[in-house]
């Protein structure tokens, strides 16, 4: 019997694509629109991808200490809830829809926004606040989540993320 | 399903190289698998490996990084230092488990 020495099968952990970079622009402040960017950022970091998040306009709510833990979800303007749109405008409906969504997210062990941001920062992700949004709302770095590295202009962000793949959410 | 021989250990693996039978795993094998991906196991690695092995036995699926940090009490930063770049997958590989299926 002849034996042939074959190379062992060992997973490739992506050493073949070093230097991959991802830039995510978070522009929405609704609870349901906060998660996609954060989940993708977390996933990218777990795959060894350098990841930068830029929080702008309503996305600023995600890093504003006063609002980041209280993002809301509304049925209004969202036909994917498959409920009559008129219901969404009734008093208390946004609070109820928000409560339901938070519960569904917690049930699958996905953390709340502040905790997920912390996890992203701990994984080496970079969080940036948008200069124009800060100026419009008269907010400074002290008003933002501690892990936000700085408030920077749009051009600074473009410069920092040269060569990156980009997601606008 | 392919079998492969790594440093004298004959194991069944999937197409990527992850063990398909967690029962074939031994602590000796873990050292061999870790060496294949450039990791030398220290006490802190073992803490993470033992947690995911036990958690897999209890839950039937591989712990996500978040679960290792929250339930296994090993901080995310430490996991990235121990298993650089792709901590969840590298940890699963060395522990002889499938890749985690959860998103977070």
The CATH code of the domain that includes B82 is 1.10.10
Is residue B35 domain-resident? Answer: yes
Is residue B18 domain-resident? Answer: no
Euclidean distance between the first and the last CA atom of chain B, given in angstroms as a whole number: 29
Span A16-72, pLDDT tens digits: 567 899 999 999 999 999 999 999 999 999 999 999 999 999 999 999 999 999 999
Residue of A nearest to B8 (CA): A8
Q: Domain residues for B73?
A: 26-94
Is residue B80 domain-resident? Answer: yes
Q: How confident is the model at residue A2 (pLDDT cuts 50, 70, 90)?
A: very low
Count of domains forming chain B: 1
Is residue A4 domain-resident? Answer: no
Is residue A16 domain-resident? Answer: no
Is residue A11 domain-resident? Answer: no
Span A82-141, pLDDT tens digits: 988 889 889 999 999 999 999 999 999 899 999 999 999 999 999 999 999 999 999 999
The CATH code of the domain that includes A63 is 3.40.1260.10
Count of domains forming chain A: 1
Residue B28 appears among annotated catalytic residues: no
pLDDT the model gives residue A56: 97
User: Which residues of B fall within a CB distance of 8 Å from A106?
Assistant: none
CA-based radius of gyration for chain A: 20
Would you call A48 and B86 a contact, using CB atoms and an 8 Å cutoff? yes
> B90: which residues sit within 8 A by CB, 6+ positions away?
A13, B37, B39, B83, B84
Tens of pLDDT along chain B (104 residues) come to 788 888 888 999 999 999 999 999 999 999 999 999 999 999 999 999 999 999 999 999 999 999 999 999 999 999 999 999 999 999 999 999 999 988 88
Is residue B75 domain-resident? Answer: yes
Paired tokens of A147: 């892990």
Would you call B86 and A47 a contact, using CB atoms and an 8 Å cutoff? yes
* Helix, strand, or coil (residue A162): coil
Q: Domain residues for A99?
A: 21-168
* Residue A30, number of CB atoms within 10 A of its CB: 18
Say whether residue A17 is in contact with chain B using an 8 A CB cutoff.
Answer: no
């Amino acid at each position: 019997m002849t034996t042939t020495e074959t190379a062992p099968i060992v997973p490739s952990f992506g050493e073949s694509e070093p230097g991959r970079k991802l830039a995510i622009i978070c522009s929405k402040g609704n609870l349901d629109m906060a998660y996609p960017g954060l989940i993708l950022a977390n996933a990218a970091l777990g795959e060894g991808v350098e990841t930068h998040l830029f929080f702008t306009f309503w996305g600023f709510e995600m890093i504003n200490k006063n609002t980041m833990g209280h993002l809301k979800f509304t049925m209004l303007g969202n036909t994917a809830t498959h409920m009559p749109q008129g219901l969404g405008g009734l008093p208390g409906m946004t609070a109820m829809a928000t409560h339901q969504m938070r519960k569904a997210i917690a049930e699958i062990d996905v953390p709340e926004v502040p905790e997920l941001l912390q996890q992203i920062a701990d994984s080496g992700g970079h969080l940036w606040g948008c200069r124009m949004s800060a100026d419009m709302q008269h907010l400074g770095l002290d008003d933002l989540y501690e892990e936000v590295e700085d408030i920077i202009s749009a051009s600074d962000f473009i410069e920092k993320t040269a060569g990156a793949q980009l997601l606008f959410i | 399903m392919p079998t492969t021989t790594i440093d004298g250990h004959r194991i069944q693996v999937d197409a990527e190289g992850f063990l398909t039978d967690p029962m074939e795993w031994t602590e000796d094998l873990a050292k061999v698998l870790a060496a294949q991906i450039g990791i030398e196991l220290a006490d802190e690695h073992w803490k993470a490996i033992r947690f995911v092995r036990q958690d897999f036995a209890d839950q039937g699926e591989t712990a996500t990084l978040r679960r290792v940090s929250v339930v296994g009490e090993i901080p995310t930063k430490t996991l990235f230092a121990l298993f650089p770049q792709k901590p969840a997958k590298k940890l699963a590989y060395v522990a002889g488990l499938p890749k985690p299926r959860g998103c977070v």
